[in-house]
Amino acid sequence: MKRHLWIYEVTSMDIRNDIYGYTKRHLWIYEAISMDIRSYIYGYTKLHLWIYEVISMDIRSYIYGYTKLYLWIYVSQAIDI
């Protein structure tokens, strides 16, 4: 399963991934054309990110029983997650 995420002129992107028995995912994306995310969970979370031509990117990941992931992406041309 391969998905591609193309985001143009994104001002704010917030991905919250809560894992407790199963995965609960919330996505807030502004001015996005297409979106897709791959996540593999087996005991812990393994996250792969391929990001191209991103000017500014801030990823904060906190793992304590479950995982919270915050992404702030500004003026991205193409994002492949």
Kindly indicate the confidence band of residue 81, based on its pLDDT and cuts at 50, 70 and 90: low
Query: Which amino acid is located at 56 in the chain?
Result: S
| 73, 13 Cβ separation under 8 angstroms | yes
Chain centroid to CA 69: 7
Q: Report pLDDT for 33.
A: 34
pLDDT digits over 36-67, tens only?
A: 444 443 333 334 343 333 333 444 433 333 33
Q: Report pLDDT for 80.
A: 52
pLDDT digits over 6-41, tens only?
A: 443 443 444 444 333 333 333 333 333 334 444 443
